[in-house]
Amino acid sequence: MLEKMLFGRYIQGDSIVHRLDPRTKLIGTFYFIIVIFLANNFWSYLAMTLFTFLCVYLSDIPFKVFINGVKPLIWLISFTVILQILFTTGGTTYFSFGILNITSFGLMNGAFIFMRFVLIIFMSTLLTLTTMPISLTDAIESLLGPLKRFKVPVHELALMLSIALRFVPTLMDEASKIMNAQRARGVDFGEGNIIQQMKAVTPILVPLFVSSFNRADELANAMEARGYKGGEGRTKYRELDWKVRDSLAILAFVVLTFVLLYIRN
């Protein structure tokens, strides 16, 4: 399962989405997460789904890659959907037992929440798959630039986010190697009750934390050896360039908003 985690991974490509300014993709992703809450019926969620699939298609990344990105979170999504179905009242009641109810309104809300989760994961995954971590750092630093007037350490914040994003896949790979090593020694992570399974995770956490601290120390030494002194006076090797296609991409999100406002209840 760990090797299927796509958060923080980048896939090299030359698609339209890859060539967009990272600020455009970052703004678009956060805007999408906000505007999806405007969807409240079948047609509005259909519009969001078609828009998301269009973005995935334009990225030239196989659709199954995004499906694999959803699989590790399917249990969390299912748990949330089940709670929504059992504890939401309204509409036609199909089953009732104490505080537990299965109603038409609950089933509809469960389906909408499932779609909301999946579409947000798709768009978030699209952002990281088509944008290099260093480009995301530049985008975050550029967008948060006005906060420098208030003495906010924008460069340092962007650097921390970039490093954290960059090392998520590395830590996942490290955890996978440790689990394989433990399995070779006879550890079964799926055996026993939940308490026993939690205890079985302990042999993974200790070496994983040790490895993380060692990587952090090596990274700090490498940055110091290269003369890193913070963002003051630093120049950029890659300059961000907002082009017409970026404006058109933002315009597409605005059009999507008006479509949702028109077709929602």
**Tens-digit pLDDT profile for residues 121-158:** 899 889 888 988 778 888 888 888 888 788 778 877 88
In this prediction, residue 7 carries a pLDDT of: 57
The 10s digit of each residue's pLDDT in 153-192 is: 887 788 787 777 777 777 777 887 888 887 787 766 666 6
The 10s digit of each residue's pLDDT in 1-13 is: 444 555 557 788 8
Question: 184 lies in a domain?
Answer: no
Distance CA 117, CA 106 (A): 16
CA 45, 75, 34, 102 torsion-angle sign: positive
Question: 226 lies in a domain?
Answer: no
Question: 177 lies in a domain?
Answer: no
In this prediction, residue 3 carries a pLDDT of: 47
Question: 69 lies in a domain?
Answer: yes
Number of domain units in the chain: 1
Question: 157 lies in a domain?
Answer: yes
Residues 6 or more apart whose Cβ sits within 8 Å of residue 93: 101, 102, 103
- Global pTM value: 0.76
Question: 185 lies in a domain?
Answer: no
Please give the residue range of the domain that contains residue 31. Answer: 2-166+239-263
Question: 178 lies in a domain?
Answer: no
**Alpha-carbon distances of 211 from 150, 218, 240, rounded to whole Å:** 37, 11, 34
Question: 216 lies in a domain?
Answer: no
